[in-house]
Structures are given as structure tokens and as C-alpha cells.
Amino acid sequence: MTAFFDRHRPMLDAAVAAIETRGFWSPFPEVPSGKVYGETARDDGQAAYDALLNQPFALPGHPESQRLGAETSPFGPALGVTYPAASPAVLIAAAQAAAPALAAARVESRIGVCLEILARLNRNSFLLAHATQHTTGQAFAMAFQAGGPHAQDRGLEAVALAWQEMTRFPAAALWEKPQGKAAPLVLEKHWTLVPAGIALTIGCNTFPTWNSYPGLFASLATGNPVIVKPHPAAILPLALTVRIAREVLAEAGLPADAVLLAVDAPGAEVTKALATDPAVRLIDYTGSGAFGGWLRDHARQAHLFTEEAGVNSVVIAATPDLEGMCANLAFSLALYSGQMCTAPQNIYIPRDGIETDQGHLGFDAVAAALTAALDGLLADPARAAGVCGAIANPATLDRIAALRGTGRVLRDSAPLAEGRSATPLLLAVSADDPLAEAECFGPVALLVAVDSAEDGIARAAALARQKGAITAALYDTDEARITRAIAAFAGAGVNLSINLTGNIFVNQSAAFSDFHVTGANPAGNASLTDPAFIAPRFRRAMWRRQRAA
Amino acid sequence: MTAFFDRHRPMLDAAVAAIETRGFWSPFPEVPSGKVYGETARDDGQAAYDALLNQPFALPGHPESQRLGAETSPFGPALGVTYPAASPAVLIAAAQAAAPALAAARVESRIGVCLEILARLNRNSFLLAHATQHTTGQAFAMAFQAGGPHAQDRGLEAVALAWQEMTRFPAAALWEKPQGKAAPLVLEKHWTLVPAGIALTIGCNTFPTWNSYPGLFASLATGNPVIVKPHPAAILPLALTVRIAREVLAEAGLPADAVLLAVDAPGAEVTKALATDPAVRLIDYTGSGAFGGWLRDHARQAHLFTEEAGVNSVVIAATPDLEGMCANLAFSLALYSGQMCTAPQNIYIPRDGIETDQGHLGFDAVAAALTAALDGLLADPARAAGVCGAIANPATLDRIAALRGTGRVLRDSAPLAEGRSATPLLLAVSADDPLAEAECFGPVALLVAVDSAEDGIARAAALARQKGAITAALYDTDEARITRAIAAFAGAGVNLSINLTGNIFVNQSAAFSDFHVTGANPAGNASLTDPAFIAPRFRRAMWRRQRAA
């Protein structure tokens, strides 16, 4: 049945067009407004969230041998939600049972299901915002965007590219080879799309939906049952996603078990058992490099798509707008307390200072301007809470506390009024400090004095090549040096933002336009969403038969 | 410089169109005729080949610390050709030195170089035919086709898909995000294509060019320097290829060392050292599953594309044309003495026999008809030599000799007049004979009595799933069963040919139309040529910059 496909065909076509032109586009409004989502949407979302708390989460028909779940909001309360849990073997068996029908479904049917899931997720964006806020620590507005429409965009992007890839070659062809004066040889050929197998999507704590949707939807669209393994601290947003997916699958006459939830508890994790099951052929993983390395070493039977850790750098070489630069960087550092994979960490500044619209400024003066911008941004407690949100993982606070003892503190980190929180810590460190050569996840920025702008660019690019990086930023006025920096960062496989000063930030990555992560350095081997992210998820098997000419 | 690109643009466009429609197409005529290739082409090719014998092979400017090479024709004489050899470290360094210029070249420049290389290879098809014949043992006509035009087709197919992939998204875009009544946010974005790194192409003995060109051209087109590692017994066809590639690169102003030859000697192989070098990021491999497994275990830093071993099956369920079926199968078994990766091995026949146009025939009667067809095909010594050619690897003869002692010999293998040769051995074995569950490379077919056609289909599909298979063939008249077989073989990731009786054979795989190997079973993880074969060979890195609205 392709009613869903027919209903959403215009959205699909527009998504394909957006991918091909890579301008701004989204069908999912990012503003958490009743004018857009309906007058009662905000209240309905709050009520729906409240109704989930302290209850068993209903996932009808889902394999269940026990109930697990112990999420606690970084803003305080325990969620009290429990989820159906089953052993890896039971989940694998359920996925295998769902596989044949999913594989046999028409491409239009699977694509239609994916589009309908996304449309329903979008209608639930307020609910997803609350679920995201209280599992990740993102402030509400960001949780709405990153957990809702922006994640839905990334899901749709993957569906649109999967649609393109599955239909770019004809399903059948006539092959007619001339034989001189004799009758030509004629074969009719038909191709069947063969899904890779069972897919496992391993979610992270900080962006449970945004980072999981691309793999989830890419695998489902191409016919692979998906087992969604949330981070134990951020289950709810993905449980809601799985529930909606199962409802839509069932309505389309497909097995609900084509999308499953794998919940576990700290100390009794199921991820390794799932990832190494011979039936699992696709793994999408967002998380630490350490566990990424474990998966590479052990889940050898699967095609592994990763987003891991890295060190994102800023090089400040010169600026004609000191205030704009500092305001822009301050927001990038403070947003979600630096817990974005795209947040800057190392800020390279020539030790002899830089040219600015306020004259030549020394290293300390630039550092002071950045500190002042951060202080200004966070002066109003309500605004500070709205920008910084809370800290997802308590270990991040410990790390910040330990860092205070190293380097020279330019700006101290401090809690906010609400939740487990921490504003950015700014440290000055020397260029050879080991601190500046590894990821310090969370609200910390290292201001690194370097010999020159060239030195900063070379160090930032080399670090990206060696340790990985998802973003880089450059502030400069020397066009020849900018050109050289473009080549250096491209060679290191990093996306570079140049001279951002307004309301657009190095952290931001827009679906349909930006490829998120290049796949060309250790920060991840997958790029959202390029053809290499889609193509290995299915294969083509032919049958051909002679036909009289 | 893009003169080559401009010259060959019509061929490129036609290749892209062929890939998209998947009908018959080739710009490289497969007939070894002076009418097509020029009156003197045949003699010129022979003379050029003779002039190479017993000489050092000239590869100007190529790294060289010693001369290696000890090829002997399966038809008799030693070639006496020596090639420049250098250590893996020297080859890697030369490739690395060539990398920046190759990466920085315009896409049109690299594609143009690839197209010009292919055009020159085509003009040298007679020379390549001799080189292929006397390294692989293929008879001349087959060596011409498989070593020349058909290999060139596969190279062009990879170049055309690389062109599509590199240009499917714009190189730059304007991203303009509305801001209500305020001025929109505007970013200009630019993408740089980032090659993966150094590519290694590991050739095989039997199809040195056909199986190497896809990876070689896919990597070169996408900007990766390629080290070509031929099988020690089949160097010449690839050495000629490397020479032409280096000439064209130099003419285009690109480093000749973007294509290098890695020659080694038995007992002092360099493949492992090359494959595990950290700079090698792409490996294309054709060969045994054992060495494929070694590469998987050890060359972990590289993206590995493989074609390995498998067991190809035929299921004979029924036929309305016994004679046509047997003639077709006999040719498939005899062609190049079963040394094609696409040649059938197991032939499943119901023990109670099948329905044919000559009435119901028992297992033995079907076997006798197939044996008679083989005997008929090979009765004329000249024709037999032209079909069977010679045996590439002496070990294959040993294997055939050993097999005589197992199973029931239905037709014995015998040498031909010319070269190291062997006609097909036909054995009857039981369905549970371990012989029928592994690849017996070379001229041997196992006729397996099974309970029913369904049993044969199930066994063939299960074996393909477990041990790999590139091709399958079915002879049947029951349309419902054919439909079930299509699903079974597709599920096992095998390309299926149904009821072939004329001048088209299960062994044959045509570029631009057939995807060779599905990548969906252990016979190989790569498919020639699908997007998954191209996409991981390069990445996209962005730079973006704010623009006043």
C-alpha cells in the first residue's frame, strides 16, 4: 500500500530537489510556536509529557521480558518511566521475523512509511522537546529544535537520498546485442533490491534523535529492520520514535517489529551482544572513540557508520569586527554548555596578537574580549539558562572541576540557577600542552598562544587529521591566507566556517545543505548524508532471461 | 588542462546514459578484426608483443631498485620480460608525492586522463590480447575480448560512475535562511572533494585487466594515486596499462607516479607490506578467500573492495530444449577451462529426472546428454583449443588429477594439443559430498543428484549464502517455481540466469548493464560498478562564509 507515499510525495520531491541544490530548505518549522503547530500544541505537548512520567511506557506488541529505565532529568526529577526490555537474542529473532516482509515491500511502501513516521514525529515536536530536554539537559528551545524539526530534517534527508539511490537504476531493462546480420541477442533483466540485514542504531546521551535518525531512517527505507539502542540516560525520545514507527508500520500492513527498542541498564548493557550478532549487518553509532574502537575491533561482520570524538578548533588571525566575532564565539561556546560535537574547543591566537577594528590587540586583550562577551551573554540568568541548558553527564562536571587546576584560568565555570549546570571555563594553555591535543568534552575552551596565524592553522589542521574534528572556524582578513587555510582544513577533512559574526554559528549544521562530518578524519567515518552513507545498506541481485528477438 | 576531457566528452556522456538505462552499449568493439582496428592492427600487435619479449620493460621515470619478472606462458615459452621493482616504502613515498597534485586537479582533468588512457588501451587491444593470452592461458579471441575491450568497458563504467558521483552535488551553493521581517541569513558554501588516500589494486592471474580496471580507474578518477600490484604470473598486461597511464598523466601535466607498478617475486611478495601501510586507504582485491580474509584481518586501515571465491550452481528442473540447454552449459563449462569466477561448478539434477522435449529423462540420461554436448563441442582440436585455452596455474592440473579419485567420473578431463591444458572433468557426487560444498577452481563440474528441483534450488541458494556465488543458472518450465527461485537466489545475493540456450552464457557479465558480483554474499563485498564501489573513495569538505544579504 502506498497511500502514505502518495500523500507525502510532494515533500519527498522537494527534499530531493533541496539535496541537489543544497540551499536552505525544511518542511518542519523550527519555531516552537502555537501559530505554526496549533494553538494548543504547546499545552498538549506538556500534558502528554506529564502523562508519561512515573508510568510504564506502552509499546504494544513489543518483545518484553522485563521493564527497565532509570532516567533522571539533568534539571532534577527522575522520570520514573519504564520500558519493555528483552534479551538481545529475542530482539534479533523478532527483527529477523520482520525482515522478509520489509524486504519484499515495494520501495514506495517503505519510503511512504518513513515519510509518515516523520510527519507524525513532527506533529509531536512539543512532546519530543520535553523528552529531549529532560534526558539531554538541552534548554527547551534547543530541545525543541534539535530533538524535533532539525532531527526530522536529518531523517528526511536520509529517506530522500535512499529513495534516489534505490531508484537511480531501472528495475528492469532490455539488453539487445547486435549480431551482425543475425538476429540480436536479447535478454530481459530484472533487479531485486536486497537489504543488507539487521541494522543497529546506537544512540547517544546528548542528541538522541538528531544523531540516530539518519541511520535509523536510512536503514528502514532500504529494507533493513532496525533495533534502536538508546543511551540509558536518554531513552524517552527514541522510545517515542519507536512507538510512532511501529504504529505507522502496522497501519501500512508491515511488521511492527521492523523497528525495535533495546533498553538496558548501566552494568547490564546489551550493546556489545547486539553489535556482534552475526545477523546484524549495519551499525550506526554515535559516541566515544573508545567504544567506536571496540566496535571496529569486534563487530567485524557489520558495516559500521560512526560519529566519534574530535577536537574542533578556531583560529583567530585578524578581524574587522572584534565585537561581532567575540559575540559569535561566546554563543558557540556557551550553547548547550559546549556539549555539541560541533562546539569549538581550541582557540588559537598568535601570541603577538592580531589586527582588529579596535587596533592591534595582544593575546590577553583578545582573551579578555572573549571573556567579556561570554560574561555579557550569560549575565541575565534566564538567558543564561536558555543558552546553556544543563549538563547531561555528571562526569562532565568532574572534568571541569579537575581542569581548573591546569592552565591559566581566564574565566571560571559556574553553575546556573537551574539544574546540573556549568557555564564555560576558559583556560589559557601553551601550544604544547597535552590538554590541547585531546577532546575535553563539555563547557571548556582552551586559548592557545601560537607563533603566528599560519602556525595556528597548521596546528589546528594537523590535530584534526590526527585526532579528528567536525568543525573549524577561522577569523582572518588576509585573503591569500584564507585560501591556504581552506586547503589545509579540506586536506584534514574538516568543514570550515570563515568570519562568522551574526546569528549563524560554527556549531550549526543544516540538513539538505551541510554534510555533517566529512568521514575523512577520525571524528567519524560517516557523513550525513552522502551517498556512501546510503549505498552499502542494500544490494542489487539480478535475474535475466532470454527473449526471442 | 581538459583537452582529453573535451575530446572524450561524447563517450563519457554515452557511458553515463548506458549506465542509467542498462541496455547493451560499448564504445570498444569486441571483434579482433582489422576492419575495426585497422588493417595492420593484428600484425602490429603481434610485432609489438614480440618486441617486448626477453627485454627489460621500459617504464620511464618509475622507481626502480632492481628488475624482477619471471612470467611463463601457459602455452609454453618464458616471456623473459623484467620490470622495474622498488620497495613498498619507496612506492608509497612516490605515491604520496604524487597525491597533492592529483587531488588538486580539476575533476574534468582527472576524468579526461582516465578516458584518454582507456582510448589508448583500446588502440593497443591486439598487444594486450597477446600479453593476456600468454599470462592467463586464455585463448587468443577470449584474451582479446576479456583483456581488451571488455576490460576497457569495465574501466569506463567506473569512470562514468565516478564522474556522476563527483558532480551530483553542486561545488558551491548559496544558503539563504529567512528571518521573518529581518534580513535573511546568507552563507556561501563551497565543497572540496577530498580523495581517500593511496589506493592499492591487487590483480589476479586469470583476469589481470578485467578485474583490476574497475578499482584502478575508480580510484584514479576520484583523485587517489594507485599502486598496481599484479599477480607475479600476470604482470605484462598491467605493466602495459601502467605505462600508458603514466604517459597520459604526464601529458596532462600530472605526476606520472599517480600510477605505479609493484612487481614482486614468489617468496618475496610485497602485497602484505603495501596493504598494511597506514597511507593505503583503498584496496581493490581479486583472489582467494584465504588472502581476502588476511586482508580483512590486517589491512584494517583501508576500505577493502573484494572479489573472492564462491560456488556457482546450475539447477536443472526441466527444459523444452534439451539440446540447446546442454550446448549452452557445455560451452559455459569449457570456456577458459572453467577458470572464470562466473563459471558453473555444481549442477543440481533431480535424482528422478526431469521433463524435456525428448520426454522424461533420468539423472544419468541428463548427465549423458551434457557429456555428449561437451564431447561434441571439443571434438575438433582447433575449436577445443579456442574454447578451453590453457590452464593458468599448474596447481589446477594437480587438483583435477586428485579429483579423479573422488565421485563417479562421467567425463574425464584430458589435455589438448597445445599448452598446459585440461578439458572439463564431470563428476557425479551425492548431495552431502563435501566436494560439492566448496570451490574446486578449474575445469570440473559436479553433477549432484537431489530430491527435487526445489531441493536443488534450496541447496544452491543456501550454498551461495554460506560460501558465496557470483552466478546461478536455472532451467525450468514451471513459472511458479521460477518465481520462487528468483526470490531464493536474490535472497542469497546471486545473479540468476534463466533458461539460457543460445549464444549467451551464464559466465558472461556485460559492463553498463550487469552488476558483476552483488556484494551480498561471501563471493565478494564489491559490485561492479554500483555507487557503493565509488562513493567511499572520496569525501567532501566544506568551507562556508557569511555574505551580506
Percent of chain B with pLDDT over 90: 97
> Across the interface, do A543 and B296 touch by the CB < 8 Å criterion?
no
> Across the interface, do B189 and A494 touch by the CB < 8 Å criterion?
no
Q: How many H-runs (helices) and E-runs (strands) does chain B carry?
A: 19, 20
Per-residue pLDDT for B279 more than 80? yes
List strand residue ranges (DSSP E) for B51-164, in order. Answer: 66-68, 83-85
> Across the interface, do B520 and A501 touch by the CB < 8 Å criterion?
no
> Across the interface, do A543 and B185 touch by the CB < 8 Å criterion?
no
The per-residue pLDDT for range A238-261, each reduced to its tens digit, is 999 999 999 999 999 999 999 999
The per-residue pLDDT for range B164-221, each reduced to its tens digit, is 999 999 999 999 999 999 999 999 999 999 999 999 999 999 999 999 999 999 999 9
Closest CA relative to residue B208, chosen from B249, B252, B150, B161: B150
Please give the radius of gyration of chain A, using alpha carbons only, rounded to the nearest integer: 25
- Grid coordinates of B350: 533431480
> Across the interface, do B196 and A520 touch by the CB < 8 Å criterion?
yes
The pLDDT mean for chain A works out to 97
| Res B548: pLDDT | 67
Per-residue pLDDT for B1 more than 80? no
CB contacts < 8 Å between A and B, how many? 190
Closest CA relative to residue A133, chosen from A440, A441, A470, A420: A420
Q: Average pLDDT in the A341-354 region?
A: 97
Look at the block and give the residue holding cell 568534552.
Answer: A441
End-to-end CA, chain A: 36
Other beta carbons within 10 angstroms of residue A328's beta carbon come to 24
CA distance B15 to A186: 20
> Across the interface, do B504 and A196 touch by the CB < 8 Å criterion?
no
The per-residue pLDDT for range B373-402, each reduced to its tens digit, is 999 999 999 999 999 999 999 999 999 999
Q: Which residues of A touch B324 (CB under 8 A)?
A: none
Confidence of residue A197 (pLDDT cuts 50, 70, 90): very high
Q: How many H-runs (helices) and E-runs (strands) does chain A carry?
A: 19, 20
Look at the block and give the residue holding cell 586482508.
Answer: B295
Element (H, E) at A132: helix A125-136
Q: Which residues of B touch A187 (CB under 8 A)?
A: 504
Per-residue pLDDT for A548 more than 90? no
Angle at B153 between CA A533 and CA B163, to 5 degrees: 40
Q: Which residues of A touch B542 (CB under 8 A)?
A: 495-496, 514-515
Look at the block and give the residue holding cell 601560537.
Answer: A450
Per-residue pLDDT for A140 more than 80? yes
Q: Which residues of A touch B174 (CB under 8 A)?
A: 23
Report the SS3 class of residue A424: coil
Instruction: Please give the domain boundaries of chain B with CATH numbers for all domains.
Output: 3-308+526-543 (3.40.605.10), 313-498 (3.40.309.10)
The per-residue pLDDT for range A467-526, each reduced to its tens digit, is 999 999 999 999 999 999 999 999 999 999 999 999 999 999 999 999 999 999 999 999
Closest CA relative to residue B264, chosen from B203, B308, B187, B194: B203
> Across the interface, do B535 and A535 touch by the CB < 8 Å criterion?
yes
The per-residue pLDDT for range B530-548, each reduced to its tens digit, is 999 999 999 999 999 988 6
Please report how many Cα atoms fall inside a 13 Å half-sphere around the Cα of residue A33, on the Cβ side: 6
Per-residue pLDDT for A296 more than 70? yes
The per-residue pLDDT for range A399-449, each reduced to its tens digit, is 999 998 888 999 999 999 989 999 999 999 999 999 999 999 999 999 999
Q: Which residues of A touch B490 (CB under 8 A)?
A: 192, 194, 541, 543
> Across the interface, do A168 and B527 touch by the CB < 8 Å criterion?
no
| Res A257: pLDDT | 98
Measured CA to CA in angstroms, residue B108 lies from B113, B431, B491, B543 at distances of: 8, 55, 39, 21
Closest CA relative to residue B276, chosen from B176, B370, B202: B202
CA distance B390 to B416: 9
Q: Average pLDDT in the A135-149 region?
A: 98
> Across the interface, do B520 and A196 touch by the CB < 8 Å criterion?
yes
| Res A391: pLDDT | 98
Comparing alpha-carbon positions, the chain A residue that sits nearest to B24 is A175
Window 243-262 of B, Cβ < 8 Å to A: none
| B358–chain A Cβ distance below 8 A for any pair | no
Percent of chain A with pLDDT over 70: 99
How are beta strands B425-430 and B408-411 bridged, if at all? Answer: antiparallel
Q: Which of B30, B191, B534, B540 to mutate to test the interface with A (most CBs of A within 10 A)?
A: B540
The per-residue pLDDT for range B47-96, each reduced to its tens digit, is 999 999 999 999 999 999 999 999 999 999 999 999 999 999 999 999 99
| A527–chain B Cβ distance below 8 A for any pair | yes
B82 min Cα distance to partner chain A (Å): 38
Comparing alpha-carbon positions, the chain B residue that sits nearest to A482 is B543
The per-residue pLDDT for range B301-359, each reduced to its tens digit, is 999 999 999 999 999 999 999 999 999 999 999 999 999 999 999 999 999 999 999 99
Window 97-136 of A, Cβ < 8 Å to B: 103
Starting at the edge strand that comes first in sequence, how are the strands of the sheet with A280-286 ordered? A259-261, A226-229, A198-202, A280-286, A303-307
CA distance A474 to A453: 10
| A540–chain B Cβ distance below 8 A for any pair | yes
Other beta carbons within 10 angstroms of residue B122's beta carbon come to 20
Write a three-state SS string for A219-263. HHHCCCCEEEECCCCCCHHHHHHHHHHHHHHHHCCCCHHHEEECC
Confidence of residue B549 (pLDDT cuts 50, 70, 90): low
Report the SS3 class of residue A218: helix
CA distance B354 to B318: 5
Kindly tell me the sign of the dihedral angle through the C-alpha atoms of B96, B100, B106, B112: negative
Closest CA relative to residue B15, chosen from B143, B79, B138, B111: B111
| B502–chain A Cβ distance below 8 A for any pair | yes
| Res A405: pLDDT | 82
Q: Which residues of A touch B22 (CB under 8 A)?
A: 169-170, 173, 175, 189
| Neighbouring-strand partners of residue B492 | none
Q: Which residues of A touch B169 (CB under 8 A)?
A: 19-20, 22
CA distance A143 to A137: 8
Q: Which residues of A touch B545 (CB under 8 A)?
A: 497-499
Confidence of residue A1 (pLDDT cuts 50, 70, 90): low
Other beta carbons within 10 angstroms of residue B130's beta carbon come to 24
Per-residue pLDDT for A194 more than 60? yes
Closest CA relative to residue A199, chosen from A537, A525, A527: A537
Query: What is the residue type of B465?
Result: R
The per-residue pLDDT for range A103-124, each reduced to its tens digit, is 999 999 999 999 999 999 999 9
> Across the interface, do A19 and B177 touch by the CB < 8 Å criterion?
no
Closest CA relative to residue B327, chosen from B475, B439, B131: B475
Window 184-203 of A, Cβ < 8 Å to B: 185, 187, 189-192, 194, 196
> Across the interface, do B504 and A540 touch by the CB < 8 Å criterion?
no
Look at the block and give the residue holding cell 591569500.
Answer: A480
> Across the interface, do B20 and A531 touch by the CB < 8 Å criterion?
no
- Grid coordinates of B208: 589481470
Window 273-302 of B, Cβ < 8 Å to A: 296, 300
Comparing alpha-carbon positions, the chain B residue that sits nearest to A545 is B498
Per-residue pLDDT for A48 more than 80? yes
Q: Is the ipTM here above 0.90?
A: yes
Closest CA relative to residue B340, chosen from B217, B509, B498: B509
The pLDDT mean for chain B works out to 97
Q: Which residues of A touch B499 (CB under 8 A)?
A: 545-546
CA distance A189 to A170: 10
